[in-house]
Structure 1
Amino acid sequence: MTGIGPLEPGEGTWAHEPVEARPAPRPRRRRTLLILATACAVLAAGGALWATRPRPAPPPELPFPAQTVTVTFLADRTTAPRRLAFDVRLAVESGPAVTVTRVSQPYAGLAAESEPPAPFRTAPGSSRVITVTMRVTECGRVPKNAALPFLEVTLRNTRAIQTQSFILGPRYTRYLSRALGDACGESAPSSPKPPRRLNG
């Protein structure tokens, strides 16, 4: 029996369903990814520059106050009974400002005070005149002839506090010996305490 029926598909001629194509990335998402990638690159470059930047040298260490201060004997003042006074010049050559917290002397039989009274501050590159007044409290404990007397000054700046002994020279030595001799007559001499070392 012959006849024409529906055509059968031949081998390899079956129709395939079209594969569903992936949707193209949205433009907004693509822009966001690009911004994030750029930001990461900028941060990485900035970190590399920061890590390899030239670093400034550390600032020089501040000097101790005793390294920048000089004290010079100027002149004696009128001497009253058992009381002597003289002027010195205190100069701060460099560094930070220096504060004088105490002015004293090495003899047990003398009390010392200053004008202006401590504490007082002196700026770098400047100086001030200080009047030191000494009062004899016990003649038996002061020297008749002072040899190399010194003045003790406690100094403070932003680095340290130090007590420095300043030897004021032969004019001060002669003045002090004469003034103490006038105040105490022929009292027996005594030796001053040795100069203090720096506390810093």
Structure 2
Amino acid sequence: MSGIGPLEPGEGTHEWGTSGPDDPPPAGGLAHGPLARLYRRRRRAVLTALTLALLLAGGGYLFATRQHAPRPRPAAPPYPSQVTDVSYLDDVAAPRDAETRTFSFAVLVSVRSGPPVTVTGITQPYEGLSLTSAPRTPFRIRAGSAHKVVITMHVRECGKVPADAGLPFLDVTLRNKRAIEVHSFILGSRYAQNLSQALRAACVTGSG
């Protein structure tokens, strides 16, 4: 009987039955056989291992760069004079006693933001005057709040007080976490007029 017998593998080729596990499966019915499944499993394992290696390498890089990146410093709190206001509230009261030559007025001390501010001292520039405050210093004011402070002045020597206080001010010593400052607060023209009237009344009454 004439015919063509089974094909012999040529040079550089091999049969599927003698191939290694890494060779792809042949087309046809063997694509669903045990060797094909083994090939697919090995391929999936290799791809999974490569993916994990890439993820680990990327995570390690991010961790290393994050560890060495400089952390931003927190913003420094403001200076106390930048967030503290002192405003004139009440008219200066006339001297209550001709003997003591004292008069009082009120101011409002407020803090807008930042850490609490402590008022450690309140003074004024005239040598012939002394003052006290209620509440007494030191007292503390939190951000967003205000304290009414009554200032009582005593005329000690009329010759050393101005007849007309042009731009009177209060020196207030302020302290917070950032610094300690002495800041001069000018209380405005109404305070200057009322203070001048009170000083004249105290000295004229006392001299009489």
Answer whether TM exceeds 0.5 for this pair: yes
- TM-superposition CA deviations, 1:57-79 (whole Å, max 9, x none): 32111110000000000003453
Identity score, percent: 49
Residue ranges of structure 1 left out of the alignment (5+ in a row): 1-43, 188-200
Given candidates 128, 150, 160, the residue that maps to 2:147 is: 128
Q: Confirm or deny that 1:52 pairs with 2:65.
A: yes
RMSD between aligned residues: 2.3
Distance in 1, matches of 2:63 and 2:153, equals 62
Q: TM-score if structure 1 supplies the norm length?
A: 0.66
Given candidates 65, 78, 102, the residue that maps to 1:63 is: 78
Q: How does 1:148-163 map to 2 (within 5 A)?
A: 148-163=167-182
| 3-state SS in 2 of match to 1:159 | coil
- TM-superposition CA deviations, 1:87-144 (whole Å, max 9, x none): 0000100111000000110000000111000000000011010000110111110011
Alpha carbons 2:95, 2:201 under 8 Å: kept = no
Distance in 1, matches of 2:59 and 2:118, equals 46
Alpha carbons 2:95, 2:202 under 8 Å: kept = no
Q: Which residue of 2 aligns with 1:94?
A: 113
Tell me the amino acid that sits aligned with residue 61 of structure 1. Answer: A
| 3-state SS in 2 of match to 1:178 | helix
Give 1 or 2: higher helix fraction.
2
Q: Confirm or deny that 1:143 pairs with 2:162.
A: yes
Q: Which residue of 1 aligns with 2:123?
A: 104
Closer, same or farther: CA 78–145 of 1 in aligned 2, 3 Å = closer
Q: TM-score if structure 2 supplies the norm length?
A: 0.64
